[in-house]
Structure 1
Amino acid sequence: MFFLFLLCMCGLLLRGNAQDRASLWRGNDRTGRCQYTFTVPSPMEATCPQVGGPEVEGLKTRLSVLEALMSQLSGKDLQPRGGHQGVSARPQPELQEALNRAVGERNLLQGEKERLERELETLKFRMEEMRRETERLRSRPCLTQNPVVAPSSTQQDRARGRPAAGSNQMSHLMTRPNRQGDSSNLRDSAWQYGAQSFQEVKAEVTEVPAPDGTVDNTGCSEVISVGEPVTHRKADNIAGKYGVWMQDPEAVSPYGPNMLWRIDTVGTEIRQLYGYDDMEQLSKGFPSKVLLLPEPLESTGATMYRGSLYYQRRLSRTLIRYDLAAEHVAARRELPHAGFHGQFPYSWGGYTDIDLSVDEKGLWAIYSTSKAQGAIVISKLDPHSLEVKKSWETSIRKASVANSFMICGKLYTVASYAARDTTINHVYDTGTSQGKAVSIPFKNKYGYNSMIDYSLAQRKLFAWDNFHLVSYDLRLGRQQAN
């Protein structure tokens, strides 16, 4: 019995000491990580305490803030949880206005993008046309290539119809007559033995027959040569880099037959028309008359005829006849389907879509249409009403030539506006509705020719070459009897 009593007393003592003794305790902190602490265990504690109330309150606060932000974005007047009244939604009209501005700017950018894409497609189409034209010109042979047979002696050369060695081949060529429309007789058979590049140069030279007793500048025939450019005046400022100058072949009072007119065409509102009593006053730069056109002019395609200035109105296909004596618009008419403002210009650009010209046959318009797909169209106009009397569609691409002019009802085109030595490369006869390639030497003395027109009053070419007003003498073939 004593032993059992002693054992019970020891158990009670050990139990009391265990309640007062510090022990290691493991639990979770606020972040969920395990934490070890020393503590006195409680007889009522069965497990580690869980996350307490402060964390839940923090989550409620964050949720309230998120709800407030959502109410601002959606435009709803919501109150955050927990009764917080400090956060309120921004007024809805301000957000709607900002959204409308953003949508409007997006629509503007989309429209600009579509416009640029259309312009890009137009440029691609024009570049493809120019590429095809270049390939066609490159593939066209200059001469018919025959098998090369080396000459063995002077007698063989003579037997074949070639000049003997040391003789003048050019004189042998120039004595040959030139039948109209047939240039095959101008090609010397001896050239087949030369290098290809030499043959091309020779072929270009021989397209123009030598001047002889058949020249008659008073008739109405085909151009056979163009003289050296003669400079009359240089423009004073940048507005005169491009321009047009002209003379009325049938002047009307109060202006005399020697009166010359000039327009500088660099600018957006081209209205000034300067008049000079004669060539001397033009060279000195002393105008006797300055007229202000009622409507602005576009590009360098204007002309003068029977007391009126004919020109294209800016940014339109409308033609205007301006009476110089009365100083008012006498007639206006749209040129049907004509391209304008850069749709079908010459190769140098300058919005040269419509080019007006006067010759022995009357008033002409040189232009193109969408139907013609960039090919030159020639229209005969009524000088009083500007009505189209008759039209001809050529096979000449307007963008492939630098400029053109009319003489005796024939259209002539110039190959380059910048090359110092270029050619008149095409002629189209409205009388026969036939065209052909030619090669008449032409010089751009100052390297940027923006206007070439026939002056019926002086039977010369007038041109505007990089600030300079120049003229060219012409040689025409003798008029053929009908």
Structure 2
Amino acid sequence: MKAVLVLLVSTAWVFTGAQYYYQGLMDYLENRLLTIEDRMQFWHEQSHRYHTELQDFKKLTAEAMVVLKNEHGMLIRDLEGAAVRMDRVEREIDYVETHSSPRACANKADKVVEQGAWGLEEHRGEEEEEGGWEELQSRVSDCVEIISGIRSVKILKRVGSPKGMWTRDPRSSKVYVFNGTTGDRIYQFNSVRDFSHSPGVTSSTQIKVPSEWSGPGSAVYNGYLYYIKQEFGTDVQVVKYDLLSGTVIDTAMFPVDNHAAVYNLNPETVADLAADDEGLWLLYATGDSEPNISLAKMDPATLDIEQIWDTRCPRENAEAAFVVCGTVYVVYNTRLASRSRVQCIFDVNDAMINEEAPLLYFPRRYGAHASLKYNPEEKQLYGWDDGYQIIYRVTMKRKLLV
């Protein structure tokens, strides 16, 4: 009986301990659940507050976007109005310049430079003794047209250095790019279109010439490259290079001052070669003290000098020049680049008078031209302006004296 009582007491004790244990566990779980509920409530309140703030921010952003959109529209309208006014101002400036600015000076070919200094006395021969020299001078060019206007056709792209040159062979569609003011590489493209679509000069055909070209005064004519070579302490040379065979065909040395630049605003241009309807021309300065630009008519086959003139066009403030139909057009600017303009014209045939000399202004662009090359087949100028490649189309008219 006693044993049974002990067993009952032990069993009751065990049940009582288990009850306390489970009760404590339930209390713990209940406290944890209450804590979780409190945190969930807190997160809910925070989320609601964040949501409210986000809605307010979204509303403020939408209102600000509406204001910015309205201001952007007003700015666009103001810019369009400014562009219209700017176009009107430029047209008025063009009108004033056309009607009030002095016309370009059309110089007469009354001074033929003696050719003895060029070592070409033997080419004159009996012709000079018989008076044939003056007759030859009067028939230098058969062209009867002059430029009446210049307008920008297209700003093609921007490739390379601020100064350089690009041109197209009049007898083909190939384009040649001379990047910088000196180098031994030329970049060739199959067409103007290929050049305009190219990412740069890396996709071109690179031509390495045997000697470095000096200045942006080269010319490409009938499959040949004519470029200026100037080595330190030596005379200036014109090199004729066959672009197809990759060989030098001929060279001609000209005893001009190494330090004389043909254009005062582009001292890198030692001499400037130009090709037009009549052939190949060379613009140069005989010395640094010579104030005017000289012109030479060259035989593109032999590089012989056929005739030489003093254009009486000053080198001061000149930036570039080009030859069209045997007439030299010298382009001037200012030290602080302004609007390029033709202020001096020289006709080798004396078939132009001052009254018909055109007043030519280039459309205002980025800076000053480093080079201008005329293509007689297209009647277009290829300009290099502060690294931009620009095409100008020229309009022509008949000379009055012809």
- The match for 2:348 is 430
Note if 1:473 corresponds to 2:370: no
Q: Is the 8 A contact 2:340 2:368 kept in 1?
A: no
**How much does 1:446 deviate?**
1.1
- The match for 1:263 is 178
- The aligned runs of 1:308-457 (5 Å cut-off) are 308-315=224-231, 316-335=235-254, 337-340=255-258, 342-370=259-287, 373-416=290-333, 419-432=337-350, 436=354, 438-457=358-377
Distance 1:229 1:398, change over 3 A: farther
List per-residue Cα deviations over 1:173-209 (Å, max 9, x = no partner). xxxxxxxxxxxxxxxxxxxxxxxxx9887412888xx
| Aligned length in residues | 262
1:334 corresponds to which letter in structure 2? M
Distance 1:223 1:327, change over 3 A: same
Q: Secondary structure at the match of 1:352?
A: coil
**How much does 1:224 deviate?**
1.1
Distance 1:282 1:388, change over 3 A: same
Q: Is the 8 A contact 2:261 2:288 kept in 1?
A: no
Choose which of 146, 150, 154 in structure 2 pairs with 1:222.
Answer: 146
Alpha-carbon distance between aligned partners in 1 of 2:229 and 2:364, rounded to the nearest angstrom: 28
Alpha-carbon distance between aligned partners in 2 of 1:421 and 1:371, rounded to the nearest angstrom: 26
- The match for 2:3 is none
Alpha-carbon distance between aligned partners in 1 of 2:270 and 2:383, rounded to the nearest angstrom: 18
Q: Secondary structure at the match of 1:339?
A: coil
Distance 1:314 1:265, change over 3 A: farther
The structure where strand makes up a greater share of residues is 2
**How much does 1:278 deviate?**
1.1
Choose which of 456, 459, 462 in structure 1 pairs with 2:379.
Answer: 459
Higher relative contact order (CA 8 A, sep 6+): 2
Query: Structure 1 stretches (4+) deviating beyond 4 angstroms?
Result: 198-201, 433-438, 479-482
Q: Secondary structure at the match of 1:421?
A: coil
- Sequence identity (%): 20
Q: Is the 8 A contact 1:463 1:470 kept in 2?
A: yes
- The match for 1:243 is 164
- The match for 1:203 is 100
Alpha-carbon distance between aligned partners in 1 of 2:222 and 2:145, rounded to the nearest angstrom: 23
Aligned residues: CA RMSD: 2.8
**How much does 1:476 deviate?**
0.7
**How much does 1:422 deviate?**
3.3
Alpha-carbon distance between aligned partners in 2 of 1:247 and 1:474, rounded to the nearest angstrom: 16
Alpha-carbon distance between aligned partners in 2 of 1:338 and 1:468, rounded to the nearest angstrom: 31
Q: Is the 8 A contact 1:245 1:462 kept in 2?
A: yes
Q: Is the 8 A contact 1:426 1:438 kept in 2?
A: no
- The match for 1:231 is 155
List per-residue Cα deviations over 1:24-44 (Å, max 9, x = no partner). xxxxxxxxxxxxxxxxxxxxx
List per-residue Cα deviations over 1:344-392 (Å, max 9, x = no partner). 3312234212100001111000011139823111100010111101011
2:381 corresponds to which letter in structure 1? L
Q: Is the 8 A contact 1:246 1:303 kept in 2?
A: yes
- The match for 2:222 is 306
Distance 1:444 1:331, change over 3 A: farther
TM-score when normalising by structure 1? 0.50
Alpha-carbon distance between aligned partners in 2 of 1:376 and 1:435, rounded to the nearest angstrom: 20
Q: Secondary structure at the match of 2:196?
A: helix
1:271 corresponds to which letter in structure 2? D
In structure 1, runs of 5+ residues without a counterpart are 1-197, 208-218, 251-256
Distance 1:292 1:478, change over 3 A: same
Alpha-carbon distance between aligned partners in 1 of 2:293 and 2:379, rounded to the nearest angstrom: 24
**How much does 1:241 deviate?**
1.8
- The match for 1:296 is 212
Larger Rg: 1
List per-residue Cα deviations over 1:391-444 (Å, max 9, x = no partner). 111211123311110000000011116644332111110012877565312134
Q: Secondary structure at the match of 1:304?
A: strand
